[in-house]
Amino acid sequence: MWQQLKDEIRNRQKILDEEIERWIADYRRQGGRIYCRAGCRHCCDLAVHATMGEALLVAEALSGGQRRALHEHVASRLYPVADIPDLKTYLRAHRQKVGFCPFLEQDGRCGVHAVRPFSCRALLSTRPGEWCGTDFSTLHPLEKEAFLGSLDRSVVDFPVHYVAETKDLGLELEAATAWEMRERFGFSLSGNLALLIHLQDEHDLAGLVPRGPEAVSEYLHAQGLSRLPLVSLSAGSNTMSRGGLR
């Protein structure tokens, strides 16, 4: 069942990439500009959300060096802020204390670009990359006003400068993937990308899934993750632990 789900995810990733290419081409013809480029890592300290199937695709593509970097990242950076139960506070702490994705190369390029999750693929910046790394709570009100005034509200997910259409499509495909998992296993599992891969490597989290939501919930509780904004387990309309991030 996991192989079928991973195949579906690959198909959806291809669809998303094609739609993004089409959207960017249309936007450029209208005089617009997208500032995303290889080596620009300004958004790569955001907490990345992914479904378990997406995490498995990344996990299968990792080199030994990337795995070591991942486990060090989770142990030394992610776990120290994992006891923050408030999502908004956690997301800010992630940027300030957890920092950049463990899969970044030294030149700032994504080391898992071909298998990166929907949430990364769908994020397109209409402003220079420096704005992606800006903490807007530290800006002077006049700077905020000038920034907001520079945005094309017909395109962006106001008040941020990211493209709304591609972001929404990424969320739609991610939700469809979660639905597919519920159809196959009776529940969906998603959360922080690095953490899901770490748990897969350490304890074969995907192997627990066929045993049902109770087995996974008990495992998350034993790991101290059941009440934290890092992992989301959803059976039907019931969410047993929270997640959410990029």
Least confident of 80-94, 103-117, 143-157: 80-94
pTM to 2 decimals?
A: 0.91
Residue 239 has pLDDT above 50, yes or no: no
Place 246 in a pLDDT band, splitting at 50, 70 and 90: low
Residue 1: band (very low, low, confident or very high) from pLDDT cuts 50, 70, 90: confident
Tens of pLDDT, residue by residue over 119-171, are: 999 999 999 999 999 988 889 999 999 999 999 999 999 999 999 999 999 99
- The per-residue DSSP string of 93-156 comes to HIIIII-S-TTB-TTS-BTTGGG--HHHHT--BSS-GGGGG--GGGS-HHHHHHHHHTS-TTTB
Specify the amino acid at residue 47: A
Averaged over 77-98, what is the pLDDT? 84
What are the pLDDT digits (tens) for 18-67?
999 999 999 999 999 999 999 999 999 999 999 999 999 999 999 999 99
Distance CA 121, CA 173 (A): 11
What mean pLDDT is reported for the chain?
92
pLDDT at 236: 65
Domain range summary for the chain, segments of one domain joined by +: 2-137+167-241
Give 27's contacts (C-beta < 8 A, 6+ positions apart): 33, 34, 155
Ramachandran class of 149: left when φ > 0, alpha when ψ lies in -120 to 50, beta otherwise = alpha
Q: Residue 238: what pLDDT?
A: 45
pLDDT of 73 > 90? The answer is yes
